[in-house]
Amino acid sequence: MTKHYLLTFFVSLSVAVTPAFAAKAGAKNPDDKRKQAVVLNNRGVIAIQANDFGLAIKNLEAALRLDPTYKKSRDNLAIAYNNYGLEEIHNLSQAIDYFHKSLFLDPENTVVAANLKGALEKSGKKTTPESRLDLAHVANTKGDLVAAIIEYREALALSPKDQNIQKELKAAEAKLNSKSDPIWKVVFPADERSLYVEAMQRRIKLFWSPPKGTESRQIKVTFKVYRDGHIAFLKLKAPCDNQTANDAALAAVLKAAPFKPLPKGTPPDVDIDFTFDYNVFQNALICRQSQAKSLAREIEELEKSEGKDSDKIIPFLLLLAQMYAVDGKYSESEPLLTRALQMEEKVSGAASTSTAIIASELGQQYSLAGKYTEAEPLLKLALDIREKNLPANDPVVLTSLEAYAKLLYKTSHFYEANKIYERLRAAKSKQN
């Protein structure tokens, strides 16, 4: 049997940091709703980072229902659904459903599209235009309009001149738009040309791998796009002084092409000028340091306006702790996580899944710092909570089991660790 390998999609999560605010239920104005949505978005990000995708989806969907225009939450929700699909790949029908939702939320994401294609092929389905159209018809009949729209779009991408597919797609989109849920609506932009350019920019960025260096650079290229999306006459318009960087810019455009067909009403071909900005000084460390300072200020402002025991502080404590941990600053992250854990236990209870997320994070940081005595009860607590609330073979439970087994091995509890590894092997054999 042919093996189909699925691509992993771990992109940068969109974390929002705002001035101090009061996020209360039943907000009466848009600003209050956005502030509540920010809190829910950040909780969703934390859950994604902890591989608790069910909790992430719950928070991110709640954020979008408060503010359907909140793009950060929409992007993060797409990530959550895609990564959940990857975790559930042993259950192909469920994984395909998650990939459909992810691609609906982020239609231009070629990685999610590849994951969906791989899952369909793994389930024995063909990915020809006719097969994608059949899948659309089945989904439409079942009332699964999100899946139907995605399959219509994929069929149309393979047969762009098929007017029947175009009509069926428009009908499905109109039907979905008539529903009340603001998350699952098709957005019809007023300016299709602007949307086309934005999609082109995102696609080129996916293939851009600028070289490392010590100077900021800007590179401009020019090319012609024809009606069917193919390109020609690609050349450097304003190169930089680094030929490797120039070559990387040209390669990004070549790899990204062909693009989608030009929108209706545009000329037969369009000239594009594209600029690559490469500021090597804005590296990941500097960005994290800047974000950490903003988060620290946010926490101070919330403490003043809401009180030091306010649960609104918890998401910011966790995000700041994770930023410190990325740089190995465990002495700074551990007190933040300890405080967040104590606060979460008061808010949600000692046996809540939210408590498990924080306990697991703190336990793993203690383990990385070599503080095994402190790590053991926290990892065990997280495992116990998850085993009580989730199925035995749930990916979150298995991840927690593996973390606990690693700690047992580090502390020479080989018999107990091997028992857990036997359980993990059995679970993985059932998934294959």
pLDDT tens for 132-184 read 999 999 999 999 999 999 999 999 888 888 899 999 998 998 898 888 788 88
Strands 269-278, 231-238: pairing kind = unpaired
Q: What pLDDT is stored for residue 288 in this prediction?
A: 59
317 & 257 share domain: no
Q: Is 131 exposed, middle or buried (0-12, 13-18, 19+ CB in 10 A)?
A: middle
If asked whether residues 324 and 256 sit together in one domain, one would say: no
- The CATH number for 117's domain is 1.25.40.10
Are 265 and 392 in the same domain?
no
162 domain-assigned: yes
Considering Cα of 45, then 47, then 53, then 58, what sign does the dihedral take?
A: negative
Question: What is the reported pTM?
Answer: 0.48
Phi, psi of 327 (to 5 degrees): -95, 10
Q: Model confidence over 376-421: pLDDT tens digits?
A: 999 999 999 989 988 888 777 888 898 899 999 989 999 999 999 9
Q: What is the DSSP string of 276-332?
A: EEE-TTS-HHHHHHHHHHHHHHHHHHHHHHH-TT-GGGHHHHHHHHHHHHHTT-HHH
> Lowest-confidence range among 7-11, 52-56, 140-144, 355-359?
7-11
Residue 123 has which token pair? 């389930």
Tell me if 36 is assigned to some domain: yes
Would residue 17 count as lying in a domain? no
In a domain, residue 9? The reply is: no
Boundary-marking domain end, from 258, 278, 298: 278
- DSSP single-letter state for residue 257: -
Q: Are residues 309 and 380 in the same domain?
A: yes
Q: Are residues 236 and 322 in the same domain?
A: no
When divided into structural domains, the chain yields a total of 3
- Whether residue 197 sits in one domain with residue 144: no
φ, ψ of residue 275 in degrees (nearest 5): -110, 130
Instruction: Tell whether 130 is covered by a domain.
Output: yes
Per-residue model confidence (pLDDT) at position 212: 64
User: Could you say which of 146, 177, 208 is where a domain stops?
Assistant: 177
Q: Verify that 346 and 409 share a domain, yes or no.
A: yes
Among 256, 278, 300, residue at a domain's last position: 278
Instruction: For residues 225 and 298, state if they share a domain.
Output: no
Over the stretch 251-277, which tens digit does the pLDDT of each residue have? 889 888 888 888 776 777 788 888 887
Domain that holds residue 216: 192-278
Residue 266 maps to a domain: yes
Verify that 261 and 315 share a domain, yes or no: no
Confidence of residue 21 (pLDDT cuts 50, 70, 90): very low
Do 86 and 221 sit in the same domain of this protein? Answer: no
| Residue 261: CATH number of its domain | 3.30.1150.10
| Residue 16 belongs to some domain of the structure | no
Q: Are residues 165 and 258 in the same domain?
A: no
| Residue 149 and residue 244 in one domain | no
Is position 19 within any domain?
A: no
